[in-house]
Chain A
Amino acid sequence: MRNLFPRTLQTTIIFLIVGGIMALALGGYFSSASNEFTGSLVEIQAWFSARFLAVQDFFTSPRDIASLRQRNAELESEVAELQAQVIQLQQAVGETQLLAALVDFVRVRPENTYRAAAVIGRDPSPFLHYVIINRGSNEGILRGMPVVTNQGLIGRVDAVIADAARVQLITDPASSVNVRLQNAETEASLIGSVTGDLMLEMIQQDIDVQQGDLVLTSGLGGGYPPDLIIGQVVNVRSREVDLFKQATVQPVVDFNLLKIVLVIVNFKPVDFDALLPVPTP
């Protein structure tokens, strides 16, 4: 009984002390001491954690970088393939749009028969403006046939072999096309130049030519069919001392970007050689 009391008392006192400490701690009376303690523990744990992570990175990172590099190379390769596909598709879309425009052009002019041809080259001489197309006499192309795009006239066939032909552009310095001005209702001659500029000549002085007037083929001379669009007047030069006016024409066709053209195969140019007088001795 004597032994039991002190032991029970000791246990009670211990519980009271622990309970008191807990009560004080919960009441916030030990906050500074507990903060110090827990702060130290957190710092120690953070130190160990950081060292562990560093060691873990040391062993695992090289493998990750290698795999990432490999994956990056795969993705870059895939991106390059996709970019190539995009470029091909853009080209295909461009060609499709061009062909659709040519088909529309053909539909609105059912009186003509056309043969499509791709431009495969240009004249090697910088003084001449010719293009080479990939259709020749095997496809019914003949010398003198007019060549157009969906935008307008570009020239006529100058020479033909079996599978190719050479087309003289209207911008060539040796080219001359008889044209009419739609608004002015007059005719003139369209001349090319070495720089590719188009000039209207032989316009009578009393004719009123305005900037923006539409220039069309007149059909005069039989070299080209009538009413093919060529361009617009951008500048008129008139001097009183000259017999005729001159005008600069902006062509509707961009001759530097010719890709696909249409040859009018049912047009027969008129050959005036038979009508020319033969000198008699």
Chain B
Amino acid sequence: MRNLVAVPVILLTVILQSAVISRVYLLSGIADLPLVMLAAWALQDGVDSAWHWAIATGLLIGFISGISWVVPVAGYVSVVLLAYMFQRRVWQAPLLAMFSITFIGTIIVSLLSVGVLQLTGVVLPISDVLGLVMLPGVLLNMLLAIPVYAVMRDLARWVYPAPEVE
């Protein structure tokens, strides 16, 4: 039953991404709210359903977007995988982990997008991709990281309350 909270959260995130975030440009880059949301959710203690969230969000984004559904699904699953790795093995500072996952995850999703588009015959100049799309996108995602992390932390505490210590 706890996973039912994913339905409104994912829907709201995807709607916000398509209706609002995608209209806010920095050069030619835009923020990726679902990616940041998934990274923040996967970093929370006790959360074990981030895989399902990533697949569901990726399929929904793939349905809306003109790009192949493989890109968002693979990209978001990679982000969750990164978050689990950082959370369990490397970092103890959650915000630092959040920034790192956002940075690496944005680059992974961008490279996947470029790769798939190149395979389908779309010509993308690497200089434009790097300077005008990827780096502004990384910056915008970094700006979103802290507020989204705070929101997802509160949501995780509500969904997975800490056990009372006697």
Contacts and interface: CB of A to CB of B under 8 A. Distances in A.
A168 B66 contact: yes
Interface size of A as a range: 20 to 34
A166 B72 CA distance: 18
B18 A121 contact: yes
A3 interface: no
B141 to A, nearest CB: 11
Nearest to A192: B122
B105 interface: no
A194 B128 contact: yes
Interface residues of B, number: 37
Contact of B66 (A121, A166, A194): A166
A174 B120 CA distance: 9
Contact of B34 (A120, A124, A172): A124
Given A126-B29, A196-B28, A172 B66 contact: yes
Interface stretch (A15-23, A61-69, A127-135): A127-135
A128 B28 CA distance: 10
B22 interface: yes
Contact of A193 (B32, B66, B128): B128
Interface stretch (B4-12, B37-45, B82-90, B129-137): B129-137
A125 interface: yes
Given A125-B65, A127-B117, A194 B124 contact: yes
B101 to A, nearest CB: 19
A173 B32 contact: no
Contacts of A174: 66, 117, 120-122
Main secondary structure of the interface of B (DSSP, over half): helix
B117 A124 contact: no
A128 B66 contact: yes
Interface in B1-30: 14-15, 17-19, 21-23, 25, 27-30
A168 B14 CA distance: 19
Contacts of A195: 27-28, 128, 132-133
A173 B32 CA distance: 20
A128 B15 CA distance: 17
A120 B117 CA distance: 25
B128 A121 contact: no
Nearest to A195: B28
Contacts of B34: 124
Contacts of A122: 18, 22-23
A120 B61 CA distance: 15
Given A121-B18, A194-B132, A126 B64 contact: no
A194 B28 contact: yes
Most buried by B among A125, A126, A158, A159: A126
Interface in B60-81: 61, 64-67, 71-72
A-B pairs with lowest CB-CB distance, top 5: A121-B18, A122-B22, A130-B66, A126-B30, A128-B66
Interface of B: 14-15, 17-19, 21-23, 25, 27-30, 32, 34, 61, 64-67, 71-72, 110, 113-114, 117, 120-125, 128-129, 132-133, 137
9 contacts: A123-B67, A125-B65, A126-B28, A127-B117, A128-B67, A132-B18, A174-B120, A196-B28, A256-B23
Interface of A: 120-128, 130, 132, 158-159, 166, 168, 172-174, 193-196, 256
Given A126-B133, A127-B113, 13 more contacts: A120-B18, A121-B22, A122-B22, A123-B18, A124-B17, A126-B30, A127-B124, A127-B129, A166-B64, A173-B123, A174-B117, A194-B128, A196-B28
